[in-house]
């Protein structure tokens, strides 16, 4: 059984009870993905599976056969940060940093969802183009808890990264 993590193939050989989260952290040494609750309640373990955001504590590694997983380590490095990561640093979108990889992976997935027109709880319109207002970002990022309370800055960071990306695309 095999899955791809950040472009590298990994064999799944261990205990079938191993969550994707523990597989990443313990078996692959990819500790950038954090465990905050192990029960799908905090979002610290958010990774992208086939491009969609997933709580990696809520799925078993063996269920990911053939899937492509992207973790925070696959998004950027200290010397080559993704614009979203750079925006988190600039806006102080973190304090202790423990929820941060999950926030950033979640934001990646969230931006893709919005680009694909997915509506949210606060959307006025269920079809059509999604405008990511601050309110929309807040709602869509509400699965990622931050006990340090960096929410205001997280929204600012995502807003900035979004606008530079859009500007780049134009």
Partner 1 sequence: MTRSLTMDRPDDRNRLDAMAQGVIGQPLDRPDGPAKVTGTAPYAAEYPVDGMAEGVLVTATISKGEVTAIDEQSVLSMPGVLAVISDQRMTARAAQGGAGEAPVQQVRQVQYYGQPIAVVLAETFEQARDAAKHLKVTYREDDDAVTDPHDPAAPTETYDEPIDQGNLAQAMAQAAYAVDVTYTTEGHNSAPMEPHASIAEWDGQTLTLHSSLQMLAYNQKELADSLDLAPEQVRLISPYVGGGFGSKLGISPEGVAASVAAMQLNRPVRVVMLRQQVFQCVMRRSETTQRLRLAADANGRLTGFGHEARVSNLPEEEFAEPVTQASEFLYPGEHRRLAIELARVNLMTAGSVRAPGEAVGMQVLESAMDELANAIGMDPVELRLRNIPDQHPSEGIPYSSRKLVECLKAGAERFGWDGSDRTPGQRREGEWWIGTGMANACRVHNINEAQARVTLSPDGTAIVASDMTDIGTGTYAILGQIAGEMLGLDPADVLVQLGDTTLPPGSGSGGSWGAASTGSAVFEACEAIREHLAEQLGTTEEELTLKDGFAIAGNRRVALPDLLAGAEVERTGHFKPGEITEAFAAAMYGAFFAEVAVNAYTGETRVRRFAGAFSMGRVLNEKTATSQCMGGMVWGIGSALTEELTFDARDGHLVNPDLAEYHIPVNLDVPHLDVVLVDERDPAGSPLQAKGVGELGICGAAGAINNAIYHACGVRVRSFPMTPDKLLAELPDP
Q: Where along the sequence are the contacts to partner 1 (CB under 8 A)?
A: 14-15, 17-18, 22, 25-26, 29-39, 41-42, 44, 71-73, 75-79, 81, 85-86, 88-90, 92, 94-101, 104, 122, 134-135, 137-139, 141-155
Nearer to partner 1 (CB atom), residue 78 or residue 170:
78
The span from the CA of 39 to the CA of 52, in Å, is: 19
CB atoms within 10 A of CB 166: 10
Which residue from 13, 15, 147, 166 is in contact with ligand FES, where contact means CB under 6 A? 147
**Whose CA is closest to 48, among 97, 89, 5, 2?**
5
User: Does residue 152 bind ligand FES (CB under 6 A)?
Assistant: no
For residue 33, the 8-state DSSP code is S
Q: Which does 45 bind (CB under 5 to 8 A by kind): partner 1, ligand FES, none?
A: ligand FES
Contact region with ligand FES (CB under 6 A), list: 65-73, 78-86, 91-99, 128-136: 91-99
- The site partner of 55 among ligand FES, partner 1, none (C-beta below 5 to 8 Å per kind) is ligand FES
Q: Answer with the entry of ligand FES, partner 1, none that 57 interacts with (C-beta below 5 to 8 A by kind).
A: ligand FES
> First and final CA of the chain: distance in angstroms?
42
**Tokens 């931006």 correspond to what residue?**
111
What secondary structure does DSSP assign to 108-135, as a single string?
HHHHHHHHTT---TT-S-SSSPPP--HH
Under DSSP, the state recorded for 60 is: B
The reply to whether 63 sits near ligand FES by the rule CB under 6 A is no
Q: Which of 23, 47, 87, 94 binds ligand FES (CB under 6 A)?
A: 94
Q: Binding of ligand FES at residue 37 (CB under 6 A)?
A: yes
Cβ 166 to ligand FES, closest distance in Å?
A: 26
What is the DSSP-derived secondary structure letter of residue 42? Answer: S
CA–CA gap between residue 105 and residue 99 (Å, rounded): 10
């Amino acid at each position: 059984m095999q899955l791809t993590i950040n472009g590298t193939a990994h064999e799944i050989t261990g205990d079938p009870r191993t969550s994707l989260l523990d597989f990443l952290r313990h078996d692959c040494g990819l500790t950038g993905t954090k465990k905050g609750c192990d029960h799908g309640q905090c979002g610290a373990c958010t990774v992208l599976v086939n491009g969609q955001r997933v709580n990696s504590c809520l799925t078993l590694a063996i269920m990911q056969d053939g899937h492509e997983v992207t973790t925070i380590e696959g998004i950027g490095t200290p010397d080559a940060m993704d614009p979203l990561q750079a925006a988190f640093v600039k806006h102080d979108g973190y304090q202790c940093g423990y929820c941060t990889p999950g926030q950033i992976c979640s934001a990646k997935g969230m931006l893709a969802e919005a680009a694909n027109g997915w509506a949210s709880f606060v959307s006025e319109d269920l079809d059509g183009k999604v405008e990511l207002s601050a309110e929309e970002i807040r709602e869509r990022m509400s699965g990622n808890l931050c006990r340090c309370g960096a929410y205001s800055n997280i929204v600012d960071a995502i807003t900035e990264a979004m606008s530079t990306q859009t500007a780049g695309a134009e």
